[in-house]
Structure formats: C-alpha cells, structure tokens
Amino acid sequence: MVCPYSQAVQRSPRMQRSTPRIPSFEQSLNQTGLAQRQPIERNAPLARLYEDALHYEPGTAISSTGALIARSGAKTGRSPRDKRVAEEASTVDDVWWGPVNKKLSEESFAVNAQTALDYLNTRDRLYVFDGFAGWDTRYRIKVRVVCARAYHALFMNNMLIRPTADELADFGEPDFTIVNAGQFPANRFTKGMTSPTSVAISFERRQMVILGTEYAGEMKKGVFTVMHYFMPKAGVLSLHSSCNEGPKGDVSLFFGLSGTGKTTLSADPARKLIGDDEHVWTDTGVFNIEGGCYAKAVDLSAEKEPEIFNAIRFGSVLENVIYNGESRVVDYSDTSITENTRCAYPIEYIPNSKVPCVGGSPQNIILLTCDAFGVLPPVAKLTPAQAMYHFISGYTAKIAGTEEGV
C-alpha cells in the first residue's frame, strides 16, 4: 500500500538527525520554558508514582488486583470540539483544515503555552516522562511528557515505549513535547477559544499544550495525531487499527473507531498481539506506535476477556471506575461516572504479546463498522475495490468510545 501523501517525500526532516553532543536532561528541559524550581521526577519508578498519586490526588486508590484507580475530573472523555492546530507558514498547506482540524493562530497558541508553563511553574512537584512513539527505529520519534499529576505520568509510562537505561541517558532533546496543565483552564477570551478546555498542537514549535481537561486519553491521541502528520511525510501509512500475528506469521489488521472492538478482537490467545490501536504500515510490514494498550473496562470479566482482565495489576491505570470501599474490588458493570471506563497497561502484560511490536505485511484486513443502522450485513467479504471504498469512506456508527458525550 502506498501512502497518497508521500510522493517525493522520503523522510521527515525531523527524522534525519545528525549526531551532535547530546544535551543533558536539564539543558533539554530549558527549551520547554520550565523554571525548574521544584523537584522534577523523570521517568519515576512505578511505586513512587503510586505513592504520590495516593498522597496528593483525591479519589485515587489501589484496586484489589494492584492497579492504580484514578479520577480524571470533570472530563471523562476526549474533547474533539476543543482540539486546535496552530496555523503556521511551514505546515499550513499540509493540514486538512475543517471541523476536525480547526485553526488556531500562532499568537493564541503562544498564549496557551505560556499559560500552561506559568501554571506548571507554580506546582510543588512535576513529572517528566521521556519515551518513544514507534517500534521501528527508522520511524521512531522521541516524546517528552511534562505534567503535574502522577496519574498522567504513569499513564504515559504505559502508553509510550519505555526506554532502556542507556536510551534514557542518550535521550537528549525530544522531537515532540506534551505540556499537560490540564488542571488549569484556558482563557475563553483568547482568540480561537470556545471553552475553558484547549488541546492544541504546534508542529513548528513541536509542542502539544493541554488546558482545562485532566482526561489522560488526550495525550495518547495527541501522539497519534503527531504520527499522522510525520508518517505520510516519511512515505509510510499510519493506521487506526489493532494488529495480531498467527502461528505462521500471518498478520491481521482490525480497523475501527474507539469502542468498536479492536482491543478485544486483537487479544486472541491463539495469536500474538502486536498492538491494540495505533500502527504504521511500511514497505517491510507493520509496527505498533505505542508501548501499551488502552482497553474499555465496561462489563469487563475474566470469562469474556481473560487476557485483558488479568492485565489489570500493579502498574496498570484504571480510570473512573467504581469499586467496593472495603475490598477495593472493581465493579466493571457500574457506569455511574461514565460509560467510558478504561484501563491502560503495558503491552507485555498480555502474555502472548510480541515484543518488539513489529510484524510482516498484513494478509488479512478487517473493517469493524459496528453498524447500528443495518446498512451492511453482519459479516461481508469485500472485493479489493469494495475494501478500498469502505476504507476511504470510513463508514461506522458512533458508539461510546473515548469522546466526551458519546
């Protein structure tokens, strides 16, 4: 499959790195604009993040199986209506502007970025997680997350690819930085703002700034958006799909929106899991973008989804679930906080995961439409022309996924 946007573009300039002297962590952090007056925990141990979350973040608990239970505050899903992309001379012709990718002026982005930094500079402690997006080192980017909640640091520890000690020592300057000040609202009088929530990306500044939402899924989706921008420039195709591999090396892709079954179907005990949500298709095969999985937890049970159920243990993050106050046993059928209860866990928590998360060229492609209107039969085998049509049209029903209000 050839990405239609690649044409003469072979690799993104950001991926053609020279090898100058690697700046120290403190030097690279200076580029972010942080005052660095408070303790900054970089890639903190899981136990330390647990301790801080339990001590400083109300509503946090440890489940009976050892997972960290966290609350995301008023927002329990993503806020796509508050997503913005900075309109910049270097990228203005590369973005499909419209109701999904809404423009934000460079000046307004700068205001939001400074607001976020000003807030973070007032915190008693900060967390930094440095990790990677992309298991194929040819296309991997370095991502830095700066945040004030241990819950957010632990979440991204699970969702990004965790560096080795040597990789962390040589990390240097990130390719992209997420500045998460979600506890503090955006100024709704800033031009381009329509609410106290803002999730904005600047490709020129290589930053994502979050204000007015503590929902951790915004960071995960932000990394995916960045890869959607960089990967076509590198001549490869980014995919919203899960992926697994059979005993004979046969790779299957499962395309679908959030909540359509990608995570559940890819966690097949008879096949190796490559990834549950975000992938890239290259000339040599596919690779997972993430280092973990983000599974729906509603009605989860050991009988129906044993691999996912057993992945909820120490190091995993449970979001917005209800649990017994005495036993700490989670009631996965209780959706009184939100239908969008979730669990984030490292991919190696799935026993039959394939690490490194790479595979050959796909032999089976499954489009999960979750058709609630009866337009399509329950199962249909498509011709190549039909498959191309349905891939481009993206027909699906909107069901409870990660978006707020759905």
Catalytic residue among 263, 316, 338, 402: 263
225 in catalytic set: no
The per-type count for the chain, helices as H runs and strands as E runs, is 9, 22
How many CB atoms within 10 Å of residue 361? 13
Region for residue 43 given its phi and psi (left: phi exceeds 0; alpha: psi -120 to 50; beta: otherwise): left
Catalytic residue among 202, 258, 260, 282: 258
Catalytic residue among 144, 149, 262, 296: 262
Residue 140, token pair as written in the block = 């991997």
Q: Given the DSSP bridges, would you call strands 237-245 and 272-275 parallel, antiparallel or unpaired?
A: antiparallel
Residue 92, token pair as written in the block = 């203005």
DSSP 349: G
Catalytic residue among 221, 271, 272, 279: 221
Separation CA 317–CA 151 (nearest Å): 8
83 in catalytic set: no
Catalytic residue among 11, 14, 205, 240: 240
Half-sphere exposure of 162 (CA within 13 A, CB side): 20
Q: What is the 3-state secondary structure (H, E, C) of 214-280?
A: CCCHHHHHHHHHHHHHHHHHCCCEEEEEEEEECCCCCEEEEECCCCCCHHHHHCCCCCEEEECCEEE
CA nearest 190: which of 107, 88, 307? 107
24 in catalytic set: no
How many CB atoms within 10 Å of residue 1? 14
Separation CA 193–CA 199 (nearest Å): 10
Catalytic residue among 63, 75, 78, 279: 78
264 in catalytic set: no
233 in catalytic set: no
334 in catalytic set: no
CA nearest 278: which of 227, 233, 241? 241
Catalytic residue among 342, 353, 354, 402: 342
152 in catalytic set: no
Separation CA 294–CA 159 (nearest Å): 8
Residues 163/133, Cβ–Cβ less than 8 Å? no
Separation CA 204–CA 246 (nearest Å): 41
240 in catalytic set: yes
Catalytic residue among 52, 175, 276, 277: 277
Active centre residues (catalytic)? 78, 221, 240, 258, 262-263, 277, 342
